[in-house]
Amino acid sequence: MRVASRKPDDTRLHGRGAMSVAVLSFGGSNCDRDVVKALGRIEVPAEVVWYKDEEDVSESEAVVLPGGFSYGDYLRAGAMAARTPVMEIVREHVKDGAPVLGICNGAQIICEADIVQGAYAPNESAKFQCEPVNLRVETTDTPFTQEFDEGDVIEVPIAHAEGRYVPDDLEALREDDRVLFRYVNENGEPTDEANPNGSVDNIAGIVGETRNVAVMMPHPERASHESLGSDDGLGILAGFEK
């Protein structure tokens, strides 16, 4: 099924001084329009782009890989989407320094594509977990956290069955300050109880070696308005403001 995309000449969302973001849609992506809407709240022009419209992805200045169940989560979550030709364009964007954010299934895709290290295994509970979680900002040296202070605790919801992050090289992540968020309790402590899926070292998100690509299981677009319980996610999406 092709998702109706906004035409590039649709100026309603094209604010000033913000880049044009391609929100990549695969068969089974289902948070694509939510991300476009959330970016619209901070006047970042964005449109849903079908993964086969590779030219539109090339011409975009930034990319979001949204949540959902691409390819029905067959084989492993994100495994098939990670091996589509459009991911080579995403890889190029990352090399060129463009902001690239993978949310939930998008995070699984970027890990499966080996653009950042690690893998996502089934939640420790063996259940689909859908709940608000507290995240501690671990580094502000990325486009996606520069709005925050280190140690800030923000609330963003999760919704996943395969979110247990397993790094290839935990020491490298720590040494390079590449852990973006950790799951914490209300006091900002990374306890086992506050870890919703059993992720190693309570890791909820990381950045790649070049710091312009980030993956996270929590959904910032679902924390983009006070009426949703939190608008903390807007600070993350602000990474797409110029």
Choice among 47, 112, 162, 219 that is catalytic: 219
Active site residue 104: yes
Q: Where are the alpha helices (DSSP H) in the chain?
A: 32-41, 54-59, 86-95, 105-112, 170-175, 233-237
Given the complex with other proteins, which of 43 and 168 has the nearer CB atom? Answer: 168
User: Which of 198, 201, 225, 241 is close enough to bind other proteins by CB under 8 A?
Assistant: 198
Q: Taking the CB of residue 61, how many other CB atoms lie within 10 A of it?
A: 16
Q: Are 90 and 115 in contact (CB under 8 A)?
A: yes
Whole-number minimum distance, CB 28 to other proteins, in Å?
18
Choice among 47, 93, 104, 162 that is catalytic: 104
Decide if residue 172 touches other proteins (CB under 8 A).
Answer: no
Decide if residue 79 touches other proteins (CB under 8 A).
Answer: yes
Active site residue 221: yes
Which two structure tokens, joined as six digits, stand for 188?
């900002």
* C-alpha count within 13 angstroms, C-beta hemisphere, residue 234: 14
Torsion angle of the four alpha carbons 175, 211, 42, 109, in this order, in degrees rounded to the nearest 10: -100
DSSP conformation class of 86? H
Given the complex with other proteins, which of 13 and 116 has the nearer CB atom? Answer: 116
Site string for other proteins, 83-112 (x = CB under 8 A): x----------------------------x
Provide the annotated active-site residues: 104, 219, 221
Which residues of the shown chain bind other proteins in the complex (CB under 8 A)?
75-76, 79, 83, 112, 117-119, 121-126, 164, 166-168, 198
